[in-house]
Amino acid sequence: MNEGKEKKEPARAALSCLECRRRKQKCSREWPCNHCAARKLSHLCRFSAAKDCTNQSIEDQQQSRKRSHNGEDDDSAIDVGIPHNDVFTHIETHLPEYNLSKLASEVWLSSQVQPKTTAQHGELQRAIRVLPSRSITDSLVQHFLGTVNYTYDAIYAPTFLEDYTRWWADRAARRPLSPEFTCLLVRACSHVAQYLSPAMRESLEFELAESASTLSERLHQAAEALSSTFTPGEKGITQVQQLFLVVVYLKGEGRFIDAWHAMATCVREAQEQGLHLDDRSLDISEYEREMRRRLWTIIYVWDWLMSKWLGRPLLADPDSCTFQLPTLQLEFDPEKPDVPSPFAHLNIQVELIRRITPALRNADVDPSEDKVKDLRKILDDWSASLAPVWSYEAPDTSWDDAYPNIKWQRELLHGTAAMIALIPFRPYLTRNAVAENPETQAWFLGLGIEVCILNMDLVKRAYAYMSLYSPKHFYINFIFFDITTVLISALIHDPKQLLPGREAALRAVNTGLDNLGTMAKFSKAGATSSAFVTKLAQSIPLSKEERSRWSFGSRKRPKTDHFWPKSQTTYDPVLHKGLFVSGSDPSPATSESVSQSVSSNETLQESVVVPSLQDFECTDFGVIEELWDWQALNLDLSAGGMLAEQPGLLHLPLT
């Protein structure tokens, strides 16, 4: 009997998580358990003693807390022994303000750093030196965890903060420092320096006597050098996290092609660790399992989206990916069970990609009306299935004030879907494709204009949100440029002014020009793209009445609100039924309206002069040149009607 009891007790004890066993509490025996979730300790809720490759063991964490209580930390360090249930409040309220007076006591470099190679030792020391003082780094970390990280949530804030406070404690006590966490920290600071509020930027630049962009670049270079000393597959998912931050940094700098190549490195590292495979049989903690799934989910979404942006192949074969989606239980709060996980929008994007990919492939091979309708049906069904908090029409905004990340993630979600929706309509708007009959052509043109206007509205809202932190946002600049030029091409190919939704298209072009004009003040790419689109817009054939309201390309364009008709008889694509119109297919125009003659009281421009690329000879288009497919516009932009290369003539890729 006694022997039987002794055999059963260990098995029974193993059902409770390690934290509940340590605290002698009754555990709900699910992940995360009731007590860990209530204390916001989901990352410590573990049901085995297996070591987590992302963090130190519980014993190491307890030892670290003991060191803190024994006074081994420096006075300026954040207390490592703070209650875990206050970790988010700690991020917001306990990071000190800038104080460079501490710098002298913080620049000590431990002589006990023990990297594997001499080269790594030198790069580690250089990476530590390039970090700002403790107070400034605290502020950067606070901004990163509280604002920037929520865009993709690649790093879990509580564990990062614990590792961060331990890193400073070890540095002050001259203990060995972790090269992989040092690299991740430098990456995070480099990335967040791209997205500072004006007040924070001004304060940082005043105290460091250098621009935020210079600091960001120095941090990036230091992290690159340190990362180059790591052997693939040896640093766990921390290595995948820091490699992903390389991608977002390069994207933030507008270096999209470099970002794609960096993405390839990140994908290979993740595959080396098996993140793309089903992990249910692995003997790892539930926290590590969740983080592995989250990282591959991010990689999967980014790989798919970047292949669409850049017209490049997928880096990861979808057929080889057997990963499971994250459970989204890591941030679960029993007191607020309805609050969506900050990672939920990425799960939703994976589901959309999986559902839409076959339909996109079919529409690409056969861009017929039936194939495009199939794609729209999938988008309609997906949009209708969204939870109220993610809905496009009348979303539930009750959590927006307390959780600002939800509003931004909602915009990202809708923007992704809208860009996908535009893909099959592009060739029809630019007349690279023509339907088999006028009715179908009118259907493609009308809905294409509608989806363009939806994209313009979404990117305008995104820029209103992001302009505070990144007024030169390169990707948003590209979307404005992309949508505006597609609309201009559609209007140039409409000399008889019969384009369905023409008035709404003209207004959207004006919106694009206004926003590109604003972005022109902050970057060279913004200035050159604004100049080109403004010049191209002058080629739109306008009637006399339209010219009285739209003066594209002039120095002083009239405000459109004063000229916009209060009542319209033309087709105005207003979306009333969610992100995409459901139900019967709209009929914005008929074959009769397409073939009707122009009324006599409208005088058309007799000739259309499209600007030549020679108008922009030797112009550096920056990131636009890397991304834009000029041939897709179906406009002859060459001198003399030929796209021949000439000495000094800007040559743009026609991929």
The answer on pLDDT for 104 being more than 70 is no
Q: What is the mean pLDDT of the segment spanning 368-389?
A: 91
CA atoms of 34 and 36, how far apart (whole Å): 6
Band (634; pLDDT cuts 50, 70, 90) = low
532: pLDDT confidence band, cut at 50, 70 and 90? Answer: confident
Bigger pLDDT: 519 or 8? 519
pLDDT of residue 254: 83
The secondary structure of residue 148, as a DSSP letter, is I
Nearest alpha-carbon partner for 526 in 484, 473, 566: 473
pLDDT given for residue 102 in this prediction = 35
Top pLDDT among 10 and 432 is at 432
71 or 129, higher pLDDT: 129
Give mean pLDDT, residues 256-283: 94
pLDDT digits (tens, 9 = 90+) for 34-53: 888 888 888 888 887 544 44
What residue spans of 209-312 are helical by DSSP H?
212-227, 236-252, 256-272, 286-310
Rounded CA gap, 179 and 647, in Å?
A: 49
Helix (H, G, I), strand (E, B) or coil at 47: coil
Mean pLDDT of 400-415: 90
Q: What is the pLDDT of residues 319-355, one digit of tens each?
A: 899 999 999 999 888 888 889 999 999 999 999 999 9
- Residue pLDDT, tens place only, 474-500: 888 888 998 999 999 999 888 888 899
What is the per-residue pLDDT across 150-167, written as a single tens digit (0 to 9) for each?
Answer: 888 999 999 999 999 999
Q: What is the pLDDT of residue 514?
A: 92
Rg of the chain over all Cα atoms, to the nearest angstrom: 28
Question: Of the candidates 152, 150, 138, 248, which has an alpha carbon nearest to the alpha carbon of residue 200?
Answer: 138
pLDDT by residue (tens digit) across 560-614? Answer: 333 333 333 333 333 334 455 443 343 344 444 444 433 333 333 344 455 555 5
pLDDT band at 190 (very low <50, low <70, confident <90, very high): very high
Give me the pLDDT at residue 410, please.
93
Highest mean pLDDT among 118-127, 216-225, 386-395, 490-499: 216-225
Nearest to 545, CA basis, from 572, 581, 573, 569: 569
What confidence category does residue 218 fall into, taking pLDDT thresholds of 50, 70 and 90? very high
Which of these ranges, 163-167, 210-214, 249-253, 632-636, has the smallest mean pLDDT? 632-636
For 155, which DSSP code?
A: S
Mean pLDDT of 528-551: 86
pLDDT recorded at residue 570: 36
Residue 15: Cβ within 10 Å count? 11
Mean model confidence pLDDT for the chain: 77
Cα distances from 401 to residues 70, 165, 208, 429, 636, in angstroms, run 40, 29, 33, 39, 49
Identify whether the C-beta of residue 112 lies closer than 8 Å to the C-beta of residue 176: yes
Q: What is the arithmetic mean of pLDDT over 202-230?
A: 95
Q: Is 596 or 400 the better-scoring residue by pLDDT? A: 400
pLDDT > 90: percent of the chain:
42
| Of residues 114 and 9, more confidently modeled | 114
Per-residue pLDDT at 589: 41
- Average pLDDT estimate for 547-553: 74
pLDDT tens string 60-76: 444 544 444 444 433 33
Average pLDDT in the 221-230 region? 95
Residue of higher predicted confidence among 468 and 260: 260
pLDDT band at 465 (very low <50, low <70, confident <90, very high): confident
- Stretch 509-525: mean pLDDT: 89
b/e burial code for range 70-92 (CB count within 10 A of at least 16 → b): eebbbebbbebebebeebeebbe
Q: 3-class DSSP state for residue 607?
A: coil
Q: Assign 629 a pLDDT band (cuts: 50, 70, 90).
A: low
User: Percent of the chain having pLDDT more than 70?
Assistant: 71
Q: What tokens appear for 494 in the block?
A: 């409409």
